[in-house]
Amino acid sequence: MVLAFRIFSDRALVSMASNAPRNEAELLAVQGIEAGIVKKYGAQIFRLVKGTS
pLDDT for residue 49: 87
pLDDT for residue 29: 96
Instruction: Tell me the pLDDT of the chain (53 aa) as tens digits.
Output: 666 667 788 899 899 989 999 999 999 999 989 999 999 989 998 998 888 65
pLDDT for residue 7: 78
What contacts 53, CB < 8 A, 6 or more positions away? 44, 47
Domain ranges across the chain: 8-50
pTM of the model: 0.76
- Is-contact 42 23, C-beta < 8 A? no
Q: How far apart are CA 53 and CA 51, in angstroms?
A: 6
pLDDT for residue 53: 56
- Is-contact 28 38, C-beta < 8 A? yes
